Chains A and B, each alone.
Chain A
Amino acid sequence: QSALTQPASVSGSPGQSITISCTGTSSDVGAYNYVSWYRQHPGKAPKLMIYEVSNRPSGVPDRFSGSKSGNTASLTISGLQAEDEADYYCSSYTSTSPSVFGTGTQVAVL
């Protein structure tokens, strides 16, 4: 099972919006509405930000939103804040292996 494809880095200024893409195949992202997004600060465990494509766990700000079109899922962060500077990973349920992660995206707040 190959990793889902994410851009290596995305950047934005405070207050701006950014979008991170996550491209898979018709066997994972395109087949199921089981895409999750995680934020990971250096040296810390990942934190779930979005599940089932567009749902936010309790406590996650509504600045974070998720969507999907075909084999590509997206995470949008609106009103970018300094604390959003971190690595972001998508993951998807797959037909061959229960779970696969994306390659990861480093978000920089300029």
Chain B
Amino acid sequence: EVQLLESGGGLVQPGGSLRLSCAASGFTFSSYAMSWVRQAPGKGLEWVSGISGSGGSPYYADSVRGRFIISRDNSRNTLYLRMNSLRAEDTAVYYCAREGVIVGATGGDYWGQGTLVTVSS
């Protein structure tokens, strides 16, 4: 059974940092691209970042480029999102999603339950 479990969310002050993790199981992790998608309270979905199965090709939305870093450890079946210089507008539930071979091409067929990040003083 495919499972994705996010962790690492919480309350952080503006300008602070957090690292989210997404532990994957039930499939060959390195064979799939992965993405982070967020949803601000009461708002729609926003694609944030994606990475190829090998980890060699990271992609970012303009809203987070230069502040967020996506990475993966295929030996630990874990996806990460390092978030720096956090702003109030980064407050959202962050989901990790399994993609196909190409980020953004075939959609996220499995999603985690999400982890809430709140940026506030």
B37: chain A residues within 8 A (beta carbon): 46, 101
Total inter-chain residue pairs, C-beta < 8 Å = 75
Contact string, B41-72, partner A, CB cutoff 8 A, digits 1/0?
00011110010000000010110000000000
Which residues 95-110 of A have a CB within 8 angstroms of B? 97-104
A38: chain B residues within 8 A (beta carbon): 45, 107-108
B62: chain A residues within 8 A (beta carbon): 1, 97
In the complex, are the beta carbons of B44 and A103 less than 8 A apart? yes
B44, B112, B113: residue with the most chain A Cβ atoms closer than 10 Å: B44
Residues of B in contact with A, size category: 20 to 34
B37, B46, B105: residue with the most chain A Cβ atoms closer than 10 Å: B105
Contact A99/B50 with A45-B111, A46-B45, A51-B109 known, Cβ cut-off 8 Å: yes
Identify the A interface with B (CB < 8 A). Answer: 1, 3, 32, 34, 36, 38, 40, 45-48, 51-52, 57, 87, 89, 91-94, 97-104
